Amino acid sequence: MEPLKPMKPMEPMKPMEPMQPMERWWPQTFGEPTSAGGQDGFQYAYFKDVRRLLMREGGKISTYDTGDHEIYGVSQSSEVRHPTFSSVRGDVDLNQLRRL
């Protein structure tokens, strides 16, 4: 039986790649979104200061007036094709917002 050999030291880990910044698809005049994201083929960007929500689906951008809703998130159920947004006043269906 051979004696145990010492283990080789671990090789240094490679540094992680930095995350890629989100693609800027909204107009520059709106500045940076308060909240942004996407799922299931659509993207959204919410701009609190100008009370606008932009939705991009299939390359087409739609603009909505959010009124006094402060949006911070989004969800989508399998039964409903369009998203529902979470606001400090409760859930907001996209159909409740005025499209501009």
Across the chain, what does the average pLDDT equal?
A: 84
Residue 76's pLDDT band, with cuts at 50, 70 and 90, is low
Q: Tell me the pLDDT tens digit for each residue of 28-68.
A: 888 899 888 887 778 889 999 999 999 998 889 999 999 88
CA distance 64 to 44: 11
SS (H, E, C) 12-65: CCCCCCCCCCCCCCCCHHHCCCCEEEEECCEEEEEECCCCEEEEEECCEEEEEE
Q: Among residues 49, 43, 46, 58, which one has the least CA distance to residue 86?
A: 46
pLDDT, position 1: 78
Q: Among residues 59, 60, 51, which one has the least CA distance to residue 30?
A: 51
Q: Which has more confidence, 19 or 15? A: 15
Q: Where are the domains of the chain?
A: 32-99
